[in-house]
């Protein structure tokens, strides 16, 4: 299957599952292909044939954008260099959860979350430690007796009851012994934080020198500004107090490529509930599909966040009412 066909299939699956899906981010470099939202769940989705193509820089950018846009970064892919992805298993690349299309279908359409995740050494599941302890005590077994049944040490059983995850094989033994489900789903929509090895949000990249005047204005009027590295916008800015007023910002000459970026920003902003603005030297019109166009000289004269917000909304509204 070509990557283009795979992107179309995954996008259609998300729409069938009730997600609002953005336009495809068809400009390079890019860290995600589409944004999608259903209810309170927002996704930034990268779609790959071979998931090993996801490098560390893209993974870091996806995690940063996920933090700033209140979204779960997610890769949907078919295989690694060595094997096809197994259904029902969550993989990880550079801290980003990865699903096969069938697993994504089960999660989003059938609402059946995966139970298994891949980690160095094999496939694992999260054991519900309280249910396990209760089942053992109901059976009137000691830690040692259960350990003997499983062929592991007493200390290992104690760790399972303290929350340590188990291999798929051990989990199957436990469920067969007690004739009860003991595993917990992997919380993909929360970033699968309970099972991934994560050092937190990666640091922001350096600001492009050409964008420093724009970043200076945004900071001066009350935004925390996060530069991007592989996104159709240059920065994501958050109101430094309320955190709910978020703005995607682009900056360049107004070219056909800039117009295309502005359209993508508008679509992504609609999904992620953010406003968008593109700063240019000379603006030929007020906005592009809801992304406000502001000239560099206008931007430099902005005095506060409310003035900027009102100008963005005015420009966007003028297009929709035209």
Q: Give dist(CA 10, CA 14) in Å, integer.
A: 6
Residue 195 pLDDT > 80, yes or no? no
Residue 320 pLDDT > 70, yes or no? no
- Report field, pTM of the whole predicted structure over 0.75: yes
Measure CA 276 to chain center: 19
Tell me the average pLDDT across 263-270. Answer: 97
Q: Which residues pair with 184 in a beta bridge?
A: 126
The token pair that represents 262 in the structure block: 């502005």
Q: What's the pLDDT band for 318 if we cut at 50, 70, 90?
A: low
Residues 286 and 315: beta-carbon distance below 8 Å: yes
For 32-59, the pLDDT digits (tens) are: 999 999 999 999 999 999 999 999 999 9
For 118-161, the pLDDT digits (tens) are: 988 899 999 999 999 999 999 999 999 999 999 999 999 999 99
Residue with tokens 């089942």: 135
Q: What's the pLDDT band for 109 if we cut at 50, 70, 90?
A: very high
Residue 214 pLDDT > 90, yes or no? yes
pLDDT value of position 2: 84
Q: What's the pLDDT band for 322 if we cut at 50, 70, 90?
A: very low
Q: Which residues pair with 43 in a beta bridge?
A: 36, 72
For 228-259, the pLDDT digits (tens) are: 999 999 999 999 777 778 999 999 999 999 99
pLDDT value of position 192: 75
Q: Give dist(CA 156, CA 14) in Å, integer.
A: 41
Residue 200 pLDDT > 80, yes or no? no
Q: Give dist(CA 27, CA 164) in Å, integer.
A: 43
Residues 46 and 62: beta-carbon distance below 8 Å: yes
The token pair that represents 122 in the structure block: 């094999």
> Residues 290, 12, 82, CA angle at the centre, nearest 5°?
115
């Amino acid at each position: 299957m070509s990557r283009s066909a795979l992107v179309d299939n995954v996008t259609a699956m998300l729409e069938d599952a009730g997600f609002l899906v953005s336009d495809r981010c068809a400009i390079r470099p890019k860290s995600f292909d589409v944004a999608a939202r259903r209810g309170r769940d927002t996704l930034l989705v990268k779609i790959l044939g071979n998931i090993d193509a996801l490098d560390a820089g893209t993974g870091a950018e996806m995690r940063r954008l996920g933090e700033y846009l209140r979204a779960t970064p997610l890769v949907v892919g078919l295989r690694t260099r060595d094997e096809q992805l197994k259904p029902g298993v969550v993989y990880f690349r550079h801290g980003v959860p990865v699903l096969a299309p069938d697993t994504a279908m089960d999660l989003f359409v059938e609402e059946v979350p995966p139970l298994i995740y891949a980690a160095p050494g094999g496939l694992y599941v999260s054991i519900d430690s309280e249910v396990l302890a209760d089942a053992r005590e109901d059976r009137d077994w000691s830690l040692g007796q259960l350990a003997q049944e499983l062929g592991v040490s007493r200390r290992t059983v104690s760790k399972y009851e303290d929350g340590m995850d188990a291999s798929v094989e051990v989990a199957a033994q436990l469920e067969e012994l007690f004739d009860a489900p003991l595993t917990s789903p992997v919380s993909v929509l929360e970033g699968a934080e309970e099972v991934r090895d994560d050092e937190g949000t990666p640091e922001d990249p350096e600001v492009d020198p050409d964008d420093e005047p724009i970043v200076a204005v945004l900071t001066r009027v009350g935004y925390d500004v996060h530069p991007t590295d592989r996104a159709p916008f240059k920065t994501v800015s958050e109101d430094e107090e309320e955190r709910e007023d978020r703005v995607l910002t682009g900056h360049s000459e107004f070219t056909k490529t800039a117009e295309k970026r502005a359209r993508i920003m508008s679509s992504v902003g609609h999904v992620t509930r953010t406003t968008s603005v593109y700063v240019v030297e000379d603006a030929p019109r007020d906005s592009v599909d809801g992304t406000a166009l502001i000239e560099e000289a206008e931007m430099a004269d902005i005095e506060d966040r409310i003035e900027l917000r009102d100008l963005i909304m005015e420009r966007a509204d003028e297009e929709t009412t035209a």
